[in-house]
Structure 1
Amino acid sequence: MPRLPHPAPEDLRRDPLPLRGRTALVTGASRRGGIGHAVARRLAAYGASVHLHHHVPHDAAMPWGADRIEDVVASVRAALGDPDATVTAGPKDLADPAAPGELVATAREALGGRLDILVANHALNGFDGTLDTIDAAMLDAHWQVDTRSVLLLVQAYARLRAALPPRTPGGRVVLMTSGQDIAGGMPGEIAYALQKGALASVTRSLSTTLAEHAVTVNAVNPGPVDTGYLTGDAYEAVAACFPGGRWGMPDDPARLIAWLATDEAEWVTGQVVDSEGGFRR
């Protein structure tokens, strides 16, 4: 049935819980200072039930350290907009080729047998270098976690969506890139930039593949976000590159990602969206 050229007035009034009844898997949501946690809180606030993926050993090995998962879950649960929604969590090392399929199955089961939204936020930090210093092990490690696992997650998710009635609404996939194709690139993180660039490049192909299942696929470049990895003079130098005089905060890209998950964004797919606050390199 063709749509009317203009929505009815009641359809212009925004639902305060636009994701009520929807379910979401957010990967890399293992600490409260990260983007994954912020995304999960926004989705929960919009009414969704959320399953949080975490891999604590990764964060524990980083300078910023790891949070207690119980604290992360409690923070997301406190943001729930729908009293009938739930928040669950579970671990997976996504370097394991079997882990993405297992994670999607686990999330589906934890969320009541359905998965509407997939936000692939996880990435491997560190273990990288310049063109002169990278080696095969670095390239393989980033490929396994940053790219292969994401594609396998999308594959498992797509199979779930294919089993639903045709054109079931609410299907959303959001990938994460890192501005590796913008002026200057990331010459000090060649392995990471390569794999994140692969995700940006495959976004349109995935969107075309999943369109028949009423699933949109987009990628978000959050730009420099203050997740606790930089301090001192270097922190201030980056802040000065923003016209607003501040870093991006985790909730900045989270607001965009949450909007992409709503029905308001159903006509946006195959896009790589920069959310950088006008960052000047």
Structure 2
Amino acid sequence: MSDSTSAAQPTAASAGPKSGRRFEGQVAVITGASRGIGLGVARRLNAEGATVVLTARKPEALNEAVATFPEGTALAIAGKADDPAHRAEVFDTIAQKFGRLDVLVANAGINPVYGPLVDIELDAARKIFDVNVLGTLAWVQDAVHHEGLKFRENKGRVVTLSSVAGQVPSEGIGFYGISKAAVSHLTKTLAVELGPDIRVNAVAPAVVKTKFATALYEGREEQVASAYPVKRLGTPEDIAGAVAYLASDDADWITAQVLTADGGVVTAGGSA
């Protein structure tokens, strides 16, 4: 475990929103948060008052990310998202330090292969499914079952990261899209099963300008963006705003939904 800062203890007395700080006094964990969408989400929730726990595989990158947060408001715990021991360490640490969990953002995902489905190596497909789908489910299971987090009592909120590739076939990333279609259905099913205590929603982005998605737009960004009605690709901040909304009390009557954040590209006939 890497504890880059000593995060402050949230208190029940400060749990209400103040001056637009919708997550004041709350604790949020964001997986895959050393860069890109995950880091953008962590920054947005933190800016609105949350103490944030960031997880990712590489401790150096994770520590660098956490160092950019105000002192005492962020914690780094490195490990693989699909590793049960890592999840246990994350949730045990949160329980010991804060005694509560309010928001879980299951962002970690992989896509190690590109190409048609008929040529994909099945071991690679299994790994994608393990991390993107079973990993997402495992984070939710462990959060719900960990008595020290009081996730149900705190009316916990889960936001998963799906993709428009799970809605329409997208060239070169077919199995990734299949895994994200599963994440969308997983999200809806969890919402039905966990209500009314816990709300579960997903955000499904199109191409967002991150290192993860570089292969989808590098060297031809203007061409790719031309298919989008808004004429630009997404940014981590775009997705962070959507996640923050779904995780906030502003969305208290919204669950089992997949919010498409795609600049209109799917409606316009495009894909990821």
Shorter-chain TM-score range: 0.7 to 0.9
Aligned residue for 1:132, secondary structure, equals helix
Contact 1:28 1:52 in 2 (8 A): yes
- The corresponding residue for 2:167 is 182
Tell me the alpha carbon deviations over residues 223-273 of structure 1, each in whole angstroms, 9 at most, x when there is no partner: 110114155542221111222221111100100101111111111100011
- The corresponding residue for 1:49 is 51
Tell me the alpha carbon deviations over residues 98-132 of structure 1, each in whole angstroms, 9 at most, x when there is no partner: 4334433334334x121110000111132343112
Confirm whether residue 209 of structure 1 aligns to residue 186 of structure 2: no
**Which of the numbers 121, 127, 148 marks the counterpart of 2:113?**
127
- The corresponding residue for 2:90 is 103
Aligned residue for 1:248, secondary structure, equals coil
Tell me the alpha carbon deviations over residues 156-208 of structure 1, each in whole angstroms, 9 at most, x when there is no partner: 1111379749x63441000111112434x124223212211111112121012
What CA distance in whole angstroms lies between the structure 1 residues aligned with 2:179 and 2:173?
10
Aligned residue for 2:206, secondary structure, equals coil
- The corresponding residue for 2:229 is 243
Contact 2:116 2:172 in 1 (8 A): yes
Please list every run of at least 4 consecutive aligned residues from structure 1 whose deviation after the TM superposition is greater than 6 angstroms: none
Confirm whether residue 274 of structure 1 aligns to residue 260 of structure 2: yes
Name structure 2 gaps, 5 residues minimum.
1-16
What CA distance in whole angstroms lies between the structure 2 residues aligned with 1:14 and 1:86?
17
Residues 90 and 181 of structure 1: is their aligned pair in 2 closer, same or farther, counting only changes over 3 Å? Answer: closer
Letter in 1 for 2:75: T
**Which of the numbers 24, 29, 35 marks the counterpart of 1:25?**
29
- Normalising by structure 1, report the TM-score: 0.80
Residues 164 and 28 of structure 1: is their aligned pair in 2 closer, same or farther, counting only changes over 3 Å? Answer: closer
Letter in 1 for 2:256: G
Letter in 1 for 2:87: P
**Which of the numbers 27, 37, 40 marks the counterpart of 1:38?**
40
Name structure 1 gaps, 5 residues minimum.
1-12, 58-66
**Which of the numbers 117, 128, 151 marks the counterpart of 2:103?**
117
Aligned residue for 1:68, secondary structure, equals helix
Residues 157 and 56 of structure 1: is their aligned pair in 2 closer, same or farther, counting only changes over 3 Å? Answer: same
Tell me the alpha carbon deviations over residues 8-39 of structure 1, each in whole angstroms, 9 at most, x when there is no partner: xxxxx9842111011000000112xx000100
Confirm whether residue 139 of structure 1 aligns to residue 125 of structure 2: yes
Confirm whether residue 74 of structure 1 aligns to residue 58 of structure 2: no
Residues 237 and 161 of structure 1: is their aligned pair in 2 closer, same or farther, counting only changes over 3 Å? Answer: farther
- Normalising by structure 2, report the TM-score: 0.82
Aligned residue for 2:220, secondary structure, equals helix
Q: Between the two proteins, what is the percent identity of the paired residues?
A: 35
Residues 98 and 70 of structure 1: is their aligned pair in 2 closer, same or farther, counting only changes over 3 Å? Answer: closer
Give the root-mean-square deviation of aligned CA atoms.
Answer: 2.4
Letter in 2 for 1:150: T
What CA distance in whole angstroms lies between the structure 2 residues aligned with 1:114 and 1:14?
20
Residues 232 and 163 of structure 1: is their aligned pair in 2 closer, same or farther, counting only changes over 3 Å? Answer: closer
